[in-house]
Structure 1
Amino acid sequence: MELGAGSFGKVMLASLTKTTKHVALKIIKKKDNPYDQKRIKAEAQTLKITGECPFLCKGLAAFQSQLHAYLVMECESKTSLWDLIHSKEKLGMETVIFFSAELVVGLQFLHSRGIVHRDLKPDNILISKDGHIKIVDFGLVAEDVSKGMKLKAVVGNFKYRAPELFMRDPYDAGVDWWAFGIILCLMATGQLPFDDLSGMNYLAYLVTSTKPRYEKGLSRDARRLLNELLEKDPEKRLGTTGDIRSHPFFRSIKWAELESLKVPSPFKPEGFSPEDLKATYTGPLPFLEDPKSEVPPDDPMVLQEFSYVNSSW
């Protein structure tokens, strides 16, 4: 079963031998250029630490053949935040606050490790079988971003781009907080705060020059939080500065319990159906049949393998 596809390759639902567990297998065709080499290594390195935060998709292994890189990740559900919003049009405020708080924890963990996601969007946020969010797809991450360091590459879905990206200004982790604000608005209202129907150029004008627009009935705390996240000056944007956890919008959240997964989710998705599992990818993996699968020791694309992080796998 194909879980996703793009210019990078594809993600398949796969099964591990001698177990009933299922995983997501990301297959990336290697290209002979420094940018792609760096991107694959950055994604693999990020997956090594994801097991330290419950709101990131856990990496299990990384390996390669001469032609492909393979990333193995946990996979409990095929339901994304986008799927949920699309099916319900907008979410109840209890669910919005809960998922938003878990996203805050996930983003703060990444940023504390010098990682900027750069492609945060509802499609890249899965909901586990227990109803907790899992940030996925680290294919566009920037690593080793220390305080005061700025990035330049313009990447990510344009609907979630911060003003500094449209203006091609140097940027930092503030772009993730802007994207988080767009996602929060979409969860709460079913609509984006800037009209994207007229194309990227007009959206760029709206994002850089106009105020966000919200649906009537949005609470004062939600409006205030959105305005602080969708601040055009990244130096003043909440998340980049200030204490987002103490915002009145999150007054009901007990952060220690949330991080320990002791707060039950208001929503739990359906698991994989028998039909889904029948379509599970079982291999053999291409690298096992590839006669050129031996990787020269000096190959610049060698990925450092890492063991399964959970002995039950």
Structure 2
Amino acid sequence: CVCVCVWQVFQVRKVQGAQTGKIFAMKVLKKAKIVCNAKDTAHTRAEREILEKVRHPFIVDLLYAFQTGGKLYLILECLSGGELFMQLEKEGIFMEDTACFYLGEIILALGHLHSNGIIYRDLKPENIMLSQQGHIKLTDFGLSKESIHDGSITHTFCGTIEYMAPEILTHSGHNRSVDWWSLGVLMHDMMTGSPPFTAENRKKTIEKILKCKLNLPPYLTVDARDLIKQLLRKSPVKRLGSSQGDSADIQKHSFFKQINWDDLLNKRVEPPYKPQLHSDEDVSQFDTRFTRQTPVDSPDDSTLSHSAELAFAGFSFVAPSVLESLKEGFSFEPRSRHVRRHNSSPRTPISPLKFSPAGPFKLAVEGEADLFSPTSPPAAPPSVPLENGPASRPIKTPSRNKKKKGHQR
């Protein structure tokens, strides 16, 4: 069976206490949508716990988590640079030095996750966001798995088909090496315009991943071709990054010979593309199918049994960085909120951040003041041509289709 996770994501502004006026992204989930499925509940809790545990320059920051009687809320940093997917859509493919920059930041993020016993399992352009400065941030940890260290394996069937490693598809058990397979798929996607194994339906796509030989276009450099080949080895034990060295082994590859990894980690390397943003509320980097939607928060009138509520015990959280800034004694109180949708099937749209276009957005429990309100983004600015330096000149390819994740079964 295919699990369906129902989230909504809003752009909101904090209206009380510390950080008043600051823009955040708010993910909202109805408890009733997941409480009937133990695996859905476990994945939701895992995402919240992973985001609390992990702090890294290239992973989205969780600021708050709270709940009401019927809903769960995650307040995350707002990444108004949009999805890497949209940047790929605009440019068609990336030139090698552009791909090298993004892949380098992703490798550092994945390596940090692995060092904490976490495998990501859903690496794809839709889950890679860009900050206002143009640096990447991994988001959406609903399919991630904790406590996977050297020698550990897990058997959950999950991910996005085109990016799933063969060992996941064959149910033969997998470890952190699956993230390096996905990195190879992503690199191929960035530099050729599509994943290496695609077909008109899931079954044929899976057959290609398991059986077909990798074919690379001749215009790729020797280093790029070699790295893709080493990442896309069907045997996980032969795959680059599968040894104890993990990300360090990939960082040593000649494709990254121009990278100073310390400078990259500390954001001293200029991104190849900086989003053209006109205000904190600018949502021009997102698909207008989502930014034009009117935010609607359904009443929080649902109640769960006591035993069902126990599944969400301990969900609330305030980041240490926020606590340190609470000089005036402000205490964060949970308010009532709402939800976004991920369905299953290969490479079809998974909702990006839904940024609210206008209007007051009542999120508080009756009788209480709002802590967050939706923003009213300005009219979309005139389109600004991308910077077309030698590292980022667009080469148009056929339009991309977004992919939805296939959850566990």
Q: Same fold (TM over 0.5)?
A: yes
Q: CA deviation at 1:198?
A: 2.6
Q: CA deviation at 1:282?
A: 9.0
Q: CA deviation at 1:229?
A: 0.3
Are the aligned partners of 1:14 and 1:280 in contact in 2 as well (CA < 8 Å)? no
Q: Do structure 1's residue 96 and structure 2's residue 99 form an aligned pair?
A: yes
Q: Structure 1 stretches of 5 or more lacking a match?
A: 1-5
Select the structure that is richer in helix: 1
What's 2:321 paired with?
310
Q: Do structure 1's residue 27 and structure 2's residue 28 form an aligned pair?
A: yes
Question: What is the DSSP-based 3-state SS (H/G/I as helix, E as strand, rest coil) of the residue aligned with 2:317?
Answer: coil
Q: CA deviation at 1:191?
A: 2.3
- Which one of the candidate residues 150, 172, 185 is aligned to 1:182? 185
- Distance in structure 2 (CA, Å) of the matches to 1:222 and 1:257: 22
Q: CA deviation at 1:175?
A: 1.1
Are the aligned partners of 1:161 and 1:175 in contact in 2 as well (CA < 8 Å)? yes
- Distance in structure 1 (CA, Å) of the matches to 2:225 and 2:253: 12
CA gap 1:192/1:207 in 2 versus in 1, 3 angstroms = same
- Distance in structure 1 (CA, Å) of the matches to 2:139 and 2:180: 16
Identity %: 32
- Which one of the candidate residues 261, 267, 288 is aligned to 2:267? 261
What's 1:3 paired with?
none
Count of residues paired in the alignment: 304
Q: CA deviation at 1:146?
A: 2.0
The TM-score, its normalising length taken from structure 2, stands at 0.68
- Which one of the candidate residues 239, 246, 251 is aligned to 1:237? 239
Q: Based on CA coordinates, which of the two structures has the bigger radius of gyration?
A: 2
User: Where does 1:152-301 land on structure 2 (aligned, <5 Å)?
Assistant: 152-194=155-197, 196-241=198-243, 243-271=249-277, 276=283, 290=301, 299-301=310-312
What's 2:14 paired with?
16
Q: CA deviation at 1:291?
A: 8.0
Q: CA deviation at 1:279?
A: 7.4
Q: What is the identity, as a one-letter code, of the residue corresponding to 1:80?
A: E
Q: What is the identity, as a one-letter code, of the residue corresponding to 1:172?
A: N
Aligned-pair RMSD on alpha carbons? 2.7
- Which one of the candidate residues 101, 106, 109 is aligned to 2:109? 106
- Which one of the candidate residues 26, 31, 44 is aligned to 2:48? 44
- Distance in structure 1 (CA, Å) of the matches to 2:228 and 2:176: 17
The TM-score, its normalising length taken from structure 1, stands at 0.88
CA gap 1:256/1:131 in 2 versus in 1, 3 angstroms = same
Are the aligned partners of 2:62 and 2:75 in contact in 1 as well (CA < 8 Å)? yes
Q: Structure 2 stretches of 5 or more lacking a match?
A: 285-290, 327-409
Q: CA deviation at 1:149?
A: 1.2
Q: What is the identity, as a one-letter code, of the residue corresponding to 2:266?
A: S
Question: What is the DSSP-based 3-state SS (H/G/I as helix, E as strand, rest coil) of the residue aligned with 2:65?
Answer: strand
- Which one of the candidate residues 112, 123, 126 is aligned to 2:126? 123
Question: What is the DSSP-based 3-state SS (H/G/I as helix, E as strand, rest coil) of the residue aligned with 2:8?
Answer: strand
Are the aligned partners of 2:121 and 2:143 in contact in 1 as well (CA < 8 Å)? yes
Q: Deviations over 1:156-206 (max 9, x none)?
A: 110101111121211111111111111111111212212x13322222222
Are the aligned partners of 2:10 and 2:295 in contact in 1 as well (CA < 8 Å)? no
CA gap 1:297/1:186 in 2 versus in 1, 3 angstroms = closer
